[in-house]
Amino acid sequence: MSIQDNLSRVQESIADATLRTGRADGSVRLVAVSKFHPADAVLEAIQSGQRLFGENRVQEAEEKFSGVLVHHPDVQLHMIGSLQRNKVAKILPVTSCVQSVDRRELLLEIEKRAALLGKSVDILFEIHTGEESKAGFASEKDLFEAIDLLAECGHTRCSGLMTMAPFTSDETNIRASFRKLVNLQYRCQQEYPALDFSTLSMGMSNDYRIAIEEGSTMVRIGTAIFGERPV
Ligand SMILES: *Cc1c(COP(=O)(O)O)cnc(C)c1O
């Protein structure tokens, strides 16, 4: 199967799940996760019409996308992996959204570097909802303390929440994880009515249909598009 075929199949399946839940076609965005795959794979996906990509490692993302973005200025890259503070300056020039904001210090560094670059960056707060690696905010208190900082951040724009479900075949656990994110979105909207929490980034190759059924607005799919990653 080519990347083009895979993309078509994934897009159809996203459309099916979206319509099945009574939502408008196109209300779930697809992030093509190209980590571990070469720039040629990204270019093939671009030729098939894909414009939004995700990477999880700074060095790799910067090397791959600094060239791609020169030739395709309408392409967007989201950072989806855990991010060290000292790597923020390197990733910001090639990224439009950091989905993995998991602590206050990271938010402040993103704001500082975005201000220096004179650019505006979208962020999602990553929430721990049961996944094994325990990435993300684990308590509402810590999350709200981070959100409070946004009042002083002129270059960092909140657009929602992100999570990873546990890697399991137990659908009940997966759904529980996604529901936690939806509930937290509701709490955030109540507490911070002036901020935008409309994006729910949840769902990967193995669980994106479930995620869409639970209300995802953005799925991050690697394997089902680009094939297995070398380990
Ligand atoms: C790798 C990765 C994905 C994509 O995973 P697949 O199972 O290959 O679809 C999604 N989100 C994050 C945060 C990732 O690191």
What is the per-residue pLDDT across 33-92, written as a single tens digit (0 to 9) for each?
Answer: 999 999 999 999 999 999 999 999 999 999 999 999 999 999 999 999 999 999 999 999
Is the pLDDT reported for residue 32 higher than 90? yes
Is the pLDDT reported for residue 144 higher than 90? yes
Token output for 118:
């004179």
Task: Give the residue-averaged pLDDT of 227-231.
Answer: 85
Spans of all domains in the chain? 3-226
Nearest CA to ligand 1 atom 13: 80
Q: What is the pTM of this model?
A: 0.97
Is the pLDDT reported for residue 230 higher than 80? no
Tell me the best of 77, 169, 174, 204 to mutate to test the pocket of ligand 1, counting ligand atoms within 8 Å of each CB and taking the most.
204
Phi and psi at 89, nearest 5°, equal -60, -35
Strands (E), 131-206: 156-163, 199-201
Quickly state the pLDDT bin for 1 (edges 50, 70, 90): confident
Ligand 1 center to 78 CA (angstroms): 12
* Second CATH level (architecture) for the domain 3-226: Alpha-Beta Barrel (3.20)
121-127 and 218-221 strand pairing: unpaired
Look at residue 134 in the predicted model and tell me its pLDDT: 83
Ligand 1 center to 164 CA (angstroms): 8
Residue type, 69: L
The proportion of the chain whose per-residue pLDDT surpasses 90, expressed as a percent, equals 97
Look at residue 68 in the predicted model and tell me its pLDDT: 96
156-163 and 218-221 strand pairing: unpaired
Query: Which ligand 1 atom sits closest to the C-alpha of 220?
Result: 10
Query: Which ligand 1 atom sits closest to the C-alpha of 229?
Result: 8
Look at residue 165 in the predicted model and tell me its pLDDT: 96
Look at residue 131 in the predicted model and tell me its pLDDT: 87
Nearest CA to ligand 1 atom 11: 220
Task: Give the residue-averaged pLDDT of 189-206.
Answer: 98
Task: Output the average pLDDT for the chain.
Answer: 97
Greater confidence (229 vs 105) lies with 105
Q: Count how many residues are written for the chain.
A: 231
